Structure 1
Amino acid sequence: MKLKIAGIIVGILTLMFELSTSAEGIEAGIDPSIHNIVKSKHVTVVSIPGLSFMELRPDQLVELPHLRRLTELSAVGAMNIRTSSRTMRDVYVSLGAGAPSVGVADGQAFAAKETRHGIRISELMNRYIGRYGEDKQIEIDSVLVPDITMLQRANKNQGYVPGILGELLKEYGVFRSVLGSSDLGKGSGMEDKKMRRYSPLMLMDANGFVDKGALGDDVITLDVDRPYGVSTHYAQLHSLWEKRTQPGITLVELGDLYRLYTDQEHYNEERFTQLKGQILKEIDQWIGQVVAGMTEEDSLWIFSPEVNSEAARAKAYLSPILHYTTDSREAILVSESTRRQGVVTAQDFTSSLLKEFNIPVPSGLVGIPLSYMGKSDVLADLVREQSSMQMIYRSRPLLLYPFVTYEMLILLLSLIYGLWIKKRLADPGYLEGREMPWRRSVRTLLFSLLSAPAVMLLMGWLVVPLTTKVGIEGTMLVLIAVFIVCTLLISAFMEKCGLSTAMIWLGLGNALIITLDGSSGAHAMKYSILGYDPMIGARYYGIGNEFMGVLIGALVLGVTAALQRRHGGEQPALRGLGGNEPLLAGSGKVEGSPRLGDAAASPAAALLACGAFLLVTACLAAPSLGANAGGALSAAVAFGVAGAHCFAGERWRELRLGRGAALLSALLALGLGALWLLNSADSPAAFARESHVGRAFHALHAGHFDQIGQLIERKLRMNVHLLRASVWSKVLITSLIVMAVLVLRPRGHLRSWQHKYPYWMYGFSANMIGAIAALLLNDSGIVAAATLIIFVAVPMQLLRLQELETENPRS
């Protein structure tokens, strides 16, 4: 018994670890003895805060010949730089940590020779760090981050290590230098100056040191006609860049565009446009000088750590990123982290910089080095792709959030309607030959909640062509109209069908559409309002939690509705409830059928149902299809319970608590086994491409057990946050309230349903357990549980309305 309990505990801990959406930041050991870096290589990284794809449009590039030529010869991509505060300080820290991290306002860099509060920065660093007293002399041109401890403390709960990139580069002998800054002013006292010295956070080591640099006043010059009276000293920057050390990496920040947008409110439109054009031309000319001075061993990256306010208002949050070498050709950047051509993550950029020097990427870094795919018109395609993603991002508040509110209102109003009509029907003469008032309208509205997910998914096929033809605003209006019309048409058609028939169509139809799309590249899901969103970086491929919940709930509902119709008959008996199926009333028995209270599916039907369950579970677990670990485990639980119900029938009730817990543990173990087999390195399913789940398994295999507690804490914290903040939590609570009232009023209702509708009840209980599993096994389980539980609350409402009609037949 103790061994069983220990095994279950180990299984749960293992489960919580592998459910991580990525192989969370684990500091890996470094072997500095393997110095296989390219000895003569130098990498230049140019950071342009404020740059976005809006500045790289064809009409803008006409005036920027060097950038235009660079886009034609480089590998180009759109990088997700989203952080909690959407500020460049978070982005720089995240790039240095190789994982999403947070910065602090005071965590800025200084030259060793500068002073703060009258104290030399080098002395301040010695005071804070301590170990660098006489043991190591700080060079006068070093760059230091004296508040490194504050940064480390701010990221302690995240489990990430600020400065791991710089630490790896230092250990492998790569010289690190940082030039330029985005300071808002020059010459004033250190305490009064509005400093923007965050770029060194990307290359600093774990103790806040960068080998060499020139910041602030050293690389800006007074210019009274420019924002804050300063501009970048491009000649000085180029002179310093030419003195680069081999092998080495130089990060250059060009801050003029950032300063302009920070001071934008003081300029009229004409003057702002004039200054922006002038600044972009200066940047273009400087980049042209850099490209001309590159050797065959050099590599150039250009990116933006923060898009400008104009792009942010348009929701164009993805940052342009370019990679150029002297022998490169036009290509698109490809990331296995996103599996979406041109869309990459900041973590991939970190790993790519390590790859530049042949430094092994530690297992704790979540990014995968970028690769390239030759392609023409890359920039134009990326601009169009970002327009489609902008449309989805901007449409969510206009369509999805109102729909979620609509879901709650319909659930509550239909419940109130059922209670009201029950009271009115107590009067024998109330109907007087008429049908129940508003019954068809209420049923249609309830059916719309089940048909909406499929419509939202199929609308994804319209996004790209519509965005190309009618633009973002036009596409949003068309999609809203299509959604409303199609959902109501499908719902009106379903209302005319019998209840079991409608549930079969809606349940199996939703499941089939989602499975087919997910198995064929998930094109519709990529552009669906209910799908995932690269703008926020929550998920890039596979099946997201929204559709995962729909898939599980719909399949269980469709299968059990089909079994109810085949083996249990339609209950109760009335024609004219909108369908043509013969129904038998009264005893709860159907001629020639088994006694419904003891109903168990025939072996053939149960086997077919379990086959469908296994297929969908495998799709969710497969790295090239669903790639949703929490979804696969939730499906294993929900489908396993449904399958056990269908096979065992009444015998299911004989399971005691211990046996029930053992069954659930066995289902979780089977789900874990499937995930392990499909995501292990030797699996044919994972051979072509490894998912984030597979990387988590590798980290687990490497023995990083110390991170399990942090992962569990992080997931619990995320679910608690979503419970308070997410609109989906309100859908979940509303559904639970509705279901509780339906079960408790009138008393004994649940027992009656278990006798009359055994397969319906099998599906309801399986989906309830699946919703609990989804809630516990996913870091955003609230969303999955809310979309899943709709496939319990709505059918229960419809079943109750049907019973009310049967109990009070029309004369």
Structure 2
Amino acid sequence: MKGRFTAVFLTILFVLQSIFASSYAQNESGKVILIMLSRTGMEDMLEIKSIKEELESRGYVSLMNIKGSKGTSDIRSYASIGWGTRAYLKPEDIDFVTSDDENRVIFKRRTGIEPKHINNININMLKSSNESGEYGAYLGILQKELSKNGKTISVIGNSDIPEKNHSYASLLAMDENGSIESGKIDGINVQDDYMPFGMRTDYEALKEYTRDYYSKSDVLAIELGDTSRLDLYRENLNQKTYGEMQNKIYGNISDYISYVMSDLADAKDRIYIVSPYPTLLEYKNYKRLSPAFIFEGQGKGVLYSNTTRREGVIGNVDIAADVLDYFGIKSDFMVGRSIQKIERSDNTEFLGSEFEKMSTTYQLRMPVLYSYAVFEMLLWISIFICILIKGMIPKKVFSVLSEVLQLTVVMPFVLLVEPIFGATSKSPVLAIIISLTVILYIALKKLIKGNIERFMVISMMTGIGILADAATGQELIKRSIFGYDAMIGARYYGVGNEYMGILIGASLLSVAGLLQKEKIKKAAAIIMLAITIVILGFPKMGANVGGTITASFCFLFFVLRMYNVKIDFKKLVAISAFVCVVVAGMAFIDIFLIGSKSHLAGAIQSIISGGPVVIIQIMSRKLAMNASLIGGSIWSKVFIMALFIVGVLFYRPFGILKRVCNEKEFLKKGWISIIVGSFVGFAVNDSGVVSAATSISFVIISVLLLIMEKIAHENAQQGS
């Protein structure tokens, strides 16, 4: 009996052990394989047979921002991929070599550290360059975090050209001292007289090394250098020879990737295929995002991260964070976020359409905004001169100028709603903008009598439109020429500085105008401004920290002036304290309640991890950005000109603006508050001159409209 009981008991234990072991095996992570195919665009990637065929049934696709610190380059994107933060370095900062008697001595002499299997003998130069970067990237953080958690990383391959080492993938696997424990970066290329630079990757040898290091490593970074060499050599080729080389290279790569996916990788493994940088031709043609694919399991769709909050778009800084997340590792030294997968059967078609629209927005952004800003300034100057010599100007001229001035106010609203029409190329987009501007203004002119009344309605429409879009996912702002774009990568979500300035100017002027017309009570005005602050600052909506500071400061300033409270030093301190409370509240909501990890939460996390030096880096970045924009941005000229014109109009023609201010008490308080807000916005935002210019435009336009109206009224009285 006792024997039977023991047998049953052991059988149960065996079954339970088998179940738990099976469960553990199912949940256990596999390996990560990172395949780097630099200088390959999205269309090129889809021409590689094995990738194309794999994507027909599975795989997640995305476009990847390639930005590093202080601009873009191959090497900065590689480093940003490996370090999870936008990195700054130069090609001469790296010279990765396999350890031998000679370079072992060089490395130790330069660093005082024992070399490992592969070492960057220029690591001190790299550290020096990195210190001058804007974002405080932590060298070798991927290797450090993996090693700390018992995981290993190896590197294979290079993009070398004759007499130059281009072992860029080594940046992903190195530690903070530029050393790598395991890998193979030389002896992989063979001579081939009919390939770029007379050399190519030996794919049979690469397969052997891949199989060997795959068995030894948890993470394997592989650099397939032929695509990079082809792009660097392209200027020496004609169309025929380029096509022949490309076909041969893509065939070799297809065979290698098929081997990795079919013969080597386990079902639990995660395979990344990433192009750290696009081809030079695509870059010149404004397609400045690179493809990044993930193959894991049988799912099919697009990639998404909290860095961008855009389906099908990730940042290069997200790759390392996602590799760590695969192993359940979190790093406080990376700004990148883990990557999510969204199921979508039409993933490549969807991405192609999105890329076309983003490229069009990128191409039109500067010409359209520059033309708009220049036209505004020329119009303001024309009106200003006419006001100075008002006695010589016919009434009809002022009427025409007033019409054109109001037409410019419609433009921000039109640029906000233009993406609704779904145009993806330049000519249709421009046609929609022009047509919609004219049609909307004509409709408003027929419905609303009075220039200033019409201006107020346009301002309210624009403000409400921005708030509504911010509260519902920013699908319009993300695609607007007046918004931002993924290629620049300064901002991916929320309300950007252009529309932030417009929102603040439109909100204050709308509230002031409604109070002036006695359409609302003061309590309603406070509620309206409070709603604007909440939407602008809420991490899942506007997510604009600088905008929240600006709006909180100038809105409270306006409320105090609305109640005729004198603004002295103590009041300014109280306003500043209010701003701190609002920003702290938004940070608390972001970090502890919703965990959206917006810019504010990321900045706080970086400060906690990196210490006070991060605050200095953030402030230095903002100052450097504003300093560069003051000298080179058209918006700085808009801002200065608006201040100049308003300042002069207080004195010439004698007293005309003062008389307008005396008659429009609430509007005057709104103007002053907007001007205060423009200076605050300039100080606290990366490109603060942009928000300062777009907000103060609401002051100058309404001032000019009222002065022209005043002149027309006085002329009518004199005529009678």
TM superposition score normalised by structure 2: 0.91
Alignment partner of 2:141 out of 145, 153, 164 = 164
**Of 371-380 and 662-671, the range deviating more from structure 2:** 662-671
Alignment partner of 2:155 out of 175, 178, 201 = 178
Change beyond 3 A, Cα 1:77–1:489: same
**Which residue pairs with 1:43 in the alignment?**
32
1:251 partner SS: strand
CA shift at 1:51, angstroms? 1.1
Distance in 2, matches of 1:40 and 1:508, equals 54
1:384 partner SS: helix
Distance in 2, matches of 1:169 and 1:272, equals 40
Note the residue ranges of structure 2 that are not aligned, 5 or more in a row: 1-26
**Which residue pairs with 1:668 in the alignment?**
579
**Which residue pairs with 1:632 in the alignment?**
548
1:522 partner SS: coil
CA shift at 1:356, angstroms? 2.4
Alignment partner of 2:618 out of 701, 708, 711 = 711
Matched, 1:124 2:106: yes
CA shift at 1:97, angstroms? 2.4
Alignment partner of 2:470 out of 499, 504, 518 = 518
Matched, 1:405 2:374: yes
Alignment partner of 2:90 out of 97, 104, 123 = 104
**Which residue pairs with 2:493 in the alignment?**
541
In the alignment, is the contact (CA less than 8 A) between 1:145 and 1:208 conserved in 2?
yes
Kindly provide the amino acid, as one letter, of the partner of residue 44 in structure 2: E
**Which residue pairs with 1:762 in the alignment?**
669
CA shift at 1:200, angstroms? 0.8
In the alignment, is the contact (CA less than 8 A) between 2:96 and 2:165 conserved in 1?
no
Kindly provide the amino acid, as one letter, of the partner of residue 530 in structure 2: L
1:501 partner SS: helix
**Which residue pairs with 2:356 in the alignment?**
387
Residue by residue, what CA displacement relative to the aligned partner does 1:346-365 show, whole Å, maximum 9, x if unpaired? 11111011122222222x31
1:332 partner SS: strand
**Which residue pairs with 2:526 in the alignment?**
610
Matched, 1:416 2:385: yes
Distance in 2, matches of 1:754 and 1:85, equals 46
Kindly provide the amino acid, as one letter, of the partner of residue 366 in structure 2: P
Distance in 1, matches of 2:361 and 2:439, equals 19
Residue by residue, what CA displacement relative to the aligned partner does 1:382-401 show, whole Å, maximum 9, x if unpaired? 11111111111111133222
Alignment partner of 2:411 out of 452, 463, 469 = 452
**Which residue pairs with 1:438 in the alignment?**
397
2:271 partner SS: strand
TM superposition score normalised by structure 1: 0.81
Kindly provide the amino acid, as one letter, of the partner of residue 72 in structure 1: S
CA shift at 1:677, angstroms? 4.5
In the alignment, is the contact (CA less than 8 A) between 1:304 and 1:320 conserved in 2?
yes
**Which residue pairs with 1:34 in the alignment?**
none
Distance in 2, matches of 1:71 and 1:48, equals 20
Residue by residue, what CA displacement relative to the aligned partner does 1:618-670 show, whole Å, maximum 9, x if unpaired? 10111111111111121111221222222x1xx33xx2522332342243234
Distance in 2, matches of 1:661 and 1:641, equals 8
Note the residue ranges of structure 1 that are not aligned, 5 or more in a row: 1-37, 133-137, 186-192, 426-434, 568-603
Residue by residue, what CA displacement relative to the aligned partner does 1:11-39 show, whole Å, maximum 9, x if unpaired? xxxxxxxxxxxxxxxxxxxxxxxxxxx98
1:221 partner SS: strand
**Which residue pairs with 1:743 in the alignment?**
650
In the alignment, is the contact (CA less than 8 A) between 2:300 and 2:343 conserved in 1?
yes
Matched, 1:780 2:696: no
Kindly provide the amino acid, as one letter, of the partner of residue 173 in structure 1: G
Which has more helix, going by share of residues?
2
**Which residue pairs with 2:640 in the alignment?**
733
CA shift at 1:488, angstroms? 5.6
Change beyond 3 A, Cα 1:437–1:500: closer
CA shift at 1:71, angstroms? 5.8
Alignment partner of 1:80 out of 65, 68, 78 = 65
CA shift at 1:320, angstroms? 1.1
Matched, 1:299 2:270: yes
In the alignment, is the contact (CA less than 8 A) between 1:75 and 1:333 conserved in 2?
yes
**Which residue pairs with 2:119 in the alignment?**
144
Between 1 and 2, higher relative CO (CA 8 Å, sep ≥ 6) is seen in 1
Distance in 2, matches of 1:717 and 1:627, equals 22
Matched, 1:644 2:560: yes
**Which residue pairs with 1:55 in the alignment?**
44
Distance in 2, matches of 1:278 and 1:473, equals 35
**Which residue pairs with 2:438 in the alignment?**
485
In the alignment, is the contact (CA less than 8 A) between 2:539 and 2:598 conserved in 1?
yes
Distance in 1, matches of 2:377 and 2:440, equals 17
| Corresponding residue pairs, total | 688
Residue by residue, what CA displacement relative to the aligned partner does 1:400-456 show, whole Å, maximum 9, x if unpaired? 22111111111111111211224x27xxxxxxxxx6131121101211232111011
CA shift at 1:750, angstroms? 5.1
In the alignment, is the contact (CA less than 8 A) between 2:142 and 2:173 conserved in 1?
yes
CA shift at 1:523, angstroms? 1.5
Distance in 2, matches of 1:783 and 1:289, equals 51
**Which residue pairs with 1:274 in the alignment?**
244
2:87 partner SS: coil
Change beyond 3 A, Cα 1:493–1:127: farther
Distance in 2, matches of 1:338 and 1:152, equals 28
**Of 526-535 and 313-322, the range deviating more from structure 2:** 313-322
CA shift at 1:70, angstroms? 4.1
Kindly provide the amino acid, as one letter, of the partner of residue 317 in structure 1: R
Alignment partner of 2:129 out of 154, 166, 186 = 154
Distance in 1, matches of 2:45 and 2:349, equals 9
Q: Aligned ranges for residues 652-663 of structure 1 at < 5 Å?
A: 652=565, 655=566, 657-663=568-574
Distance in 1, matches of 2:194 and 2:517, equals 79
Change beyond 3 A, Cα 1:804–1:108: same
Distance in 1, matches of 2:547 and 2:55, equals 43
**Which residue pairs with 1:509 in the alignment?**
461
**Which residue pairs with 2:233 in the alignment?**
263
1:126 partner SS: helix
